[in-house]
Amino acid sequence: MVILLTLIGALILLDKYAVGEFGLSQPIVSGAIIGALCGDVQVGIFVGALFQLVFLANLPIGKDVPPDAQAAGIAGCGSYFLLKSINQNEPNLMIVFLVGILVSVIGNYLDIIVRRINEGPFYRFLRDNKKLYICHFSGIVMAFLRGVFLFLPIFLLVSIIRFPFSAAAFNKDFLLIVIFALGIANGIYLYLKRQSFYFLVIGAICALVYFVF
């Protein structure tokens, strides 16, 4: 299952930059995909939604490379189902959350490294535009390997280490309170600004119209 989750995660992560950018790698969507493959779509969506709220305000603007929210969602959801298959009971959600946060930081550094490596094929293409497909393919391979090198060690560690499951502070309700608070904070940061407030009002009106009619 470690190998399967690693390959699935690496393939989904290609959606971030390498192949299109269709939103499949967003935590709530990747969580649904992994949940469906592991036999529980609802839990996959739930875990993905937690990470979606945490990283709601992380935007790759300019040269800024924020923590890897997509990798965090994949790692968190994959870790949940991996722990559940090993222990045959509900995993500790706080541990799953911490694994995802760790992967988001590591993924950030790997993302920067891959971008620097892919500068080589880019300049090679500028010198010889006949190598366009070769350069594109090498970039996709590097992006896939980034996912493999990121997820494989994490999933191996998760499958080997025995985490505590009975700590009272690590229960579902506690985690939901923390994540919901972070989600509200991110929402305020994103939308309660003069330049975006109008869009927030328009969106709220559209939502009301939808629910009424």
Q: Residue 204 — pLDDT band, cuts 50, 70, 90?
A: low
* Nearest in space to 70 (alpha carbons), one of 86, 85, 58: 58
pLDDT digits (tens, 9 = 90+) for 79-98: 999 888 887 677 777 788 88
**pLDDT (0 to 100) of residue 205:** 75
* Nearest in space to 29 (alpha carbons), one of 84, 61, 77, 82: 77
pLDDT digits (tens, 9 = 90+) for 50-76: 888 888 766 666 566 678 889 999 999
User: Encoding tokens for residue 205?
Assistant: 């009106």
State how far the Cα of 114 lies from the Cα of 146, in Å rounded to an integer. Answer: 7
State how far the Cα of 100 lies from the Cα of 105, in Å rounded to an integer. Answer: 9
User: Which residue intervals of the chain are DSSP H helices?
Assistant: 2-13, 27-38, 41-54, 69-87, 93-117, 119-127, 132-160, 172-191, 194-212
Mean pLDDT of the chain: 78
Average pLDDT over residues 17-23: 76
- Look at 53-62, 111-120, 165-174, 201-210 and tell me which has the smallest mean pLDDT: 165-174
**pLDDT (0 to 100) of residue 152:** 93
pLDDT digits (tens, 9 = 90+) for 39-49: 889 889 888 98
State how far the Cα of 17 lies from the Cα of 131, in Å rounded to an integer. Answer: 20
The Cα-based distances of 4 to 132, 162, 175, 179, 202 in angstroms read: 31, 21, 28, 28, 43
55 close to 72: Cβ distance less than 8 angstroms: yes
